[in-house]
């Protein structure tokens, strides 16, 4: 009886194995084929393989901005060609120049690693000019992937180490760079050594103004950053006028996002702070400043990593010429910015005209009591 039981058990086990082979085809269990190409073959044209082509044009001549750039800066635009008979996906090209690349900027999947000095051209997902999403993660047989580019010195391929890697078949990975993301936590990272201080600098009724500082306690440069502050009840906001302002911002029903206006990086141990780092809005509530978080990415120069985060919120309108905000400019010395919060979108703004007239009067004042009575200061105002 025991022998019969063992035989039945063996038959059942064999039946299960046969059934699993029928239900799970062997092809589904196979791993995708990975192909790696090294050296000059990566940039050598091939009628049957995968290769990278590029164009380069002079963008900025050496010393065009005084002492910078240190070398001629060229604009590179890349195309990956798939001349095989099969679809490829999840590809990347890594270029390690034999000397300083003098990296300037990059876009659409090209990334510079300041630690290794390598340039990586990888898969990308973005938004086109008409708002449509596009990606080059997969390249059909006979197709190409375009859009990636960067600016750096000439002849980056000369003497460089080059490696191309791609998978044969459908994509199984997310794009290397996804510019459609709007959640800062999905784009950057946080660290207790990277902090923000958001301090209320003015409040009058529904008007709020805050000064922001960001500190980098890491041992490497932060290339992109965004300060996220919980916020509710914001009804409107107005941009500052003038080049003195160094931050831009936007808001949703839950958060206020603040980042650099010009792609300002933060060096290791550096803190960005001062009156140029201000935001303002009208609303029913103050910000939850104690809950401010900094999301960041490291690198030598900004890539605009958090631009879509700000674009997903409501943008401040117009511009206010006041660095002090609150609609008041009484007393003190006129520094060229403090002219109050004025709605410049109104066709006939008599308040603005009067205020400008008074400053014009002060600027042209004569006599021996100018320093005591005029709000105009030539030392501070160079406009």
State the Cα–Cα distance between residues 371 and 380, nearest whole angstrom: 13
**Could you list the residue range(s) of the whole structural domain that residue 83 is in?**
33-179
Report yes or no on 223 lying in a domain: yes
Residue-level pLDDT at 77 = 97
Q: Are residues 193 and 294 in the same domain?
A: yes
Select from 325, 291, 318 the least CA-distant residue to 236.
318
Q: How many Å apart are CA 66 and CA 287, to the nearest integer?
A: 42
Mean pLDDT of all residues belonging to the chain: 84
Query: Same domain for 221 and 262?
Result: yes
Say if residue 196 is in the same domain as residue 141.
Answer: no
Q: How confident is the model at residue 217, as a pLDDT? A: 97
Radius of gyration of the chain (CA): 29
339 vs 292, higher pLDDT: 292
Backbone angles phi, psi at 124, to 5 degrees: -145, 145
Based on the domain organization, do 42 and 90 belong to the same domain? yes
| Residues 105 and 160 occupy one common structural domain | yes
Q: 106 and 196 share a domain? A: no
Q: What is the DSSP letter of 314?
A: B
Strand boundaries in 83-184, DSSP class E:
88-96, 105-107, 110-113, 118-122, 124-127, 133-135, 138-139, 144-152, 161-168, 177-178
Query: Does 368 have pLDDT greater than 80?
Result: no
**CATH at 255:** 2.60.40.290
Distance between CA 159 and CA 96 in Å, rounded?
A: 9
**Together in a domain, 303 and 236:** yes
**Nearest to 377, CA basis, from 338, 348, 326:** 338
Q: Is residue 244 part of a domain?
A: yes
**Cα separations in angstroms, 83 against 141, 143, 250:** 6, 7, 45
Averaged pLDDT, 35-47? 96
Q: Kindly state the average pLDDT of the residues 150-177.
A: 95
Can you tell me whether residue 90 is helix, strand or coil? Answer: strand
* Count: domains in the chain: 2
Is a pLDDT exceeding 90 seen at residue 242?
A: no
Which of residues 320, 347, 363 is at a domain's end? Answer: 320
Neighbours of 179 (CB within 10 A): 20
Find the mean pLDDT for residues 72-96. 97
CA torsion sign, 63 to 69 to 72 to 78? negative
Residues 263-301 pLDDT 10s: 899 999 999 999 999 999 999 999 999 999 999 999 877
């Amino acid at each position: 009886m025991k022998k019969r039981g063992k035989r039945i058990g063996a038959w059942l086990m064999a039946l299960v194995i046969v059934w699993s082979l029928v239900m799970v085809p062997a092809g589904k269990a196979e791993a995708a084929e990975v192909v790696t190409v090294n050296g000059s073959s990566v940039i050598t044209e091939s009628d049957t393989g995968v290769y990278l082509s590029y164009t380069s044009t002079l963008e900025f001549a050496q010393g065009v901005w005084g002492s910078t750039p240190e070398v001629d800066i060229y604009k590179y635009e890349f195309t990956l060609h798939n001349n095989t008979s099969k679809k490829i996906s999840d590809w990347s090209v890594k270029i390690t120049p034999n000397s300083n690349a003098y990296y300037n900027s990059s876009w659409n999947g090209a990334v510079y690693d300041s630690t290794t000095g390598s340039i990586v051209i990888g898969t990308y997902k973005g938004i086109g000019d008409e708002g449509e999403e596009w990606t080059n993660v997969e390249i059909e047989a006979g197709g190409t992937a375009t859009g990636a580019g960067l600016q750096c010195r000439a002849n980056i391929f000369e003497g460089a180490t080059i490696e191309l890697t791609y998978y044969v078949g459908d994509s199984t990975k997310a794009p290397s760079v996804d510019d459609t993301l709007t959640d800062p936590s999905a784009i950057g990272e946080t660290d207790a050594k990277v902090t923000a201080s958001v301090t209320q600098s003015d409040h009058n009724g529904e008007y709020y103004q805050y000064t922001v500082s960001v500190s980098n306690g890491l041992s490497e440069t932060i290339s992109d950053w965004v300060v996220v502050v919980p916020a509710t009840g914001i009804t409107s906001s107005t941009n500052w006028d003038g080049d003195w302002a160094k931050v831009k911002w936007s808001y949703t029903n839950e958060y206020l996002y603040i980042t650099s206006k010009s792609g300002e990086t933060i060096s290791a141990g550096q803190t960005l702070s001062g009156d140029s780092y201000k935001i303002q809005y009208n609303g029913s509530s103050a910000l939850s400043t104690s809950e401010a978080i900094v999301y960041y990415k490291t690198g030598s120069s900004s890539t605009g990593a958090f631009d879509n985060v700000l674009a997903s919120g409501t943008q401040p309108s117009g511009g206010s010429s006041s660095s002090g905000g609150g609609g008041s400019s009484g007393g003190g010395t006129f520094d060229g910015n403090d002219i109050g919060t004025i709605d410049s979108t109104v066709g006939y703004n008599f308040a603005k005209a009067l205020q400008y007239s008074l400053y014009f009067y002060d600027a042209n004042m004569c006599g021996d009591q100018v320093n005591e009575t005029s709000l105009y200061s030539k030392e501070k105002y160079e406009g």
